[in-house]
Structure 1
Amino acid sequence: MKGNTAMRVFALLPFAAALAACGARTELQPAPGAQLPVAPYGATEQPTADKLLLPEVQAEPERSVELRKRSEQREDDPFDLPPQN
């Protein structure tokens, strides 16, 4: 039993080290010899690597609808038409 437990610890050690390394965050820089993309047309400055990683509003819209807390009567929908035969 003791040897089996030690074997499990040694088997999980690389995974634990890799998981711990995921938390290391440093300033993002382009690879050596590479440059950031050119500034978009009309932009006054070139975006940084961190700014390029942020999603645009259209890619991640905010919720604008309040969730229902109780049943309510549905309003008439003029576009809810029966199927055409």
Structure 2
Amino acid sequence: MRPLPALALSLALPFGLGACGQKADLAPVAGQPLPPTPYGAQAQPDAEDLLKLDPLAAPERSVELRKRSEERTDDPFDLPPE
């Protein structure tokens, strides 16, 4: 088995790295249908609906800062190691 020539590898590397930085919006391939309608859905979701994140997948962050130290409440699951 022959190893890849250095020239072929040096030509393939820029093309591979160039494909990683695509900034265009995603769109379905022309002539290809979208995925099938989910079971129980009223209508076929379009490409924008399929790209929206579920609220559980990307929850909002809480940036509330503590103004002063507070006593921690008792945690019944905070047990010492056995």
Quickly name the TM-score band, shorter chain normalised: 0.5 to 0.7
Equivalent residue, structure 1, for 2:73? 75
CA shift, 1:66, in A, is 4.2
Structure 1 alignment gaps of length 5 or more: 1-21
**Deviating 4+ runs (over 3 angstroms):** 63-67
Segments of 5+ residues of structure 2 without an aligned counterpart are 1-22
Q: CA RMSD in A?
A: 2.6
**Which residue number corresponds to residue 46 of structure 1?**
44
Higher relative contact order (CA 8 A, sep 6+): 1
* Equivalent position of 1:34 in the other structure: 32
TM-score normalized by the length of structure 2: 0.59
Secondary structure of the equivalent of 1:71? coil
Q: Does the C-alpha gap of structure 1 residues 31 and 55 become closer, same or farther in structure 2, counting only changes over 3 Å?
A: same
Work out the percentage of aligned pairs sharing the same amino acid: 62
SS of 1:59's partner is coil
Query: Using the alignment, how far apart are the partners of 1:76 and 1:83 within structure 2?
Result: 17
The number of residues matched between the two structures is 62
Give me the TM-score of the superposition, normalised by structure 1. 0.57
